[in-house]
Structure 1
Amino acid sequence: MHRHFMIHKPYGYLSQFVSREKLAHKKKYLGDLYSVPQGTMAVGRLDEPSEGLLLLTTDGVESELVRSKKYEKEYYVQVDGIAEQEHVSKLSKGVLIGLGKGKYYQTLPCRVQLINPPEKLPHRSKKIRDERHGPTSWLSITITEGKFRQVRKMCAAVQLPVLRLIRVRIGAMHLNDIPNQGILEVSAFKD
């Protein structure tokens, strides 16, 4: 019997439970926060400075399905500067991002919209910055793919550096469904 979980991954944690690296004691892992069954894996990842909804499962087949283009992934993104409709248009059509080693990828068209600063955000241990450092804007970006650091690279491609990135939704599962920004066991993932 496989088990499935929705968790809130806070800022500053790696999307894994343990590490065998020499300097592992200097990093924070999900295992420091949540107790899950042996063999549980993260479905996709959020990088260390990213936050939000992360799915866990003991079922590799389910993991592959959720990472497919069948499931939308929505992010709230705080960017440095004033985002304009021109930025939204470029991001929506797809942009060219670097994959490393001289390789590039044209992102698929996606949904992007300017949003007001979200009222209810997860607590973050490190402050972003204050108004003295200039204006910021918020975007909602919904993609169906998931290249390495894709949303950050997309925003950089249109000269909008990311200050904060929060995954709020995967399919029909929302970060707000998790009580107290912790962990919630579910019978199945919903698309």
Structure 2
Amino acid sequence: MAYRYLLFHKPYNVLSQFSDNSSPEQRRSTLKDYIPVENVYPVGRLDHDSEGLMLLTDHGALQHQLSHPKFHHPRTYWVQVENIPTPTAIDQLRKGGLVIQNYRTRPTQVRLLEEEPPFPDRDPPIRYRKSIPTAWIEITLTEGHNRQVRRMTAAVGFPTLRLVRVAIGHLQLQGLAPGEWRNVTSEELRSLLHWMNQTQPRPRLRTPRSHC
């Protein structure tokens, strides 16, 4: 039986899981409200207040490799922040070494976007302050600590207002509206499986014992 691989554009305030055990008055939307496919599970997660690309599959080995931090699989985010980040702040994010909780961030790729991305308005909208401008930056991480992007931008003085994951490796959000999903294409799957094969740990060779 063939494995399933799906891409999904998670909207704001949707949980990255198929069930919510909260009380009825606190219950949020889940993946089950959007994806009518059984036995697939998200690779990693997005917080309820984050949006963007998710990969779901029933391929357990691939799920493990894409989720495990030792494989350093890149994930790219477009992040709307409060105020205009300074070159110093961008450099701090890029170089890594920010102390957040109990870890230091790795070096990462960061750039200031010249134009606002053409995303639909968020519901509910972000908080706007007339006296404070906003800007969008692109951040590509190869690690995935809890709420890391938000903590990184806050650590350099530019709080995150909106966070959208636009890529998981070579897989792209482009073409998916919020709440839409699709099957991974054959070309995307070939690249995904090639990466998996390239990053699989190779067995250690044992040195033959001498019988002397």
Fold shared by both chains (TM-score > 0.5): yes
SS of the residue corresponding to residue 48 of structure 2 reads coil
4+ runs deviating over 6 angstroms? none
Q: Indicate the structure with greater strand content.
A: 1
Q: What TM-score do you get using the length of structure 1 for normalisation?
A: 0.88
Question: Which structure carries more relative contact order (alpha carbon 8 Å, separation 6+)?
Answer: 1
Gaps of 5+ in 1: 99-103
Aligned residue in 2 for 1:41: 41
Q: Measure, in 2, the Cα distance between the counterparts of 1:13 and 1:143.
A: 22
The CA distance in 1 between the partners of 2:109 and 2:12, in whole Å, is: 25
Deviation (angstroms), 1:163: 0.1
For 1:160 and 1:137, the matched residues in 2 are separated by: 10
Change (3 A) 1:167 1:120: same
Question: Does structure 2 retain, via aligned residues, the 8 Å contact 1:122–1:181?
Answer: no
Counterpart of 2:77 in structure 1 is 75
The number of residues matched between the two structures is: 185
Shift of 1:180: 7.2
Matched, 1:93 2:95: yes
One-letter amino acid of the counterpart of residue 72, structure 1? P
Give percent identity, aligned residues only: 38
1:22 counterpart SS class: coil
1:154 aligns with 152
The 3 A distance-change label for structure 1 pair 180 and 166 is closer
TM-score (normalizing by structure 2): 0.80
Larger radius of gyration: 2
Partner of 2:207: none
Structure 2 gap segments, 5+ residues each? 196-212
Taking only aligned residues, the RMSD between alpha carbons, in angstroms, comes to 2.0
Query: Which amino acid in 2 is paired with 1:80?
Result: E
* TM-aligned CA deviation for residue 25 of structure 1: 5.7
**SS state at 1:156 partner:** helix
SS at match of 2:93: helix
| CA deviation vs aligned residue, 1:22-62 (integer Å, no higher than 9, x gap) | 3476211111122112x211111110110000111112211
SS in 1 for 2:130: helix
Give, in whole Å, the separation in 2 of the partners of 1:179 and 1:126: 16
Counterparts of 1:25 and 1:36, CA distance in 2:
25
CA distance, structure 2, for counterparts of residue 30 and residue 24 of structure 1: 18
Query: How far apart, in 2, do the equivalents of 1:84 and 1:133 lie?
Result: 17
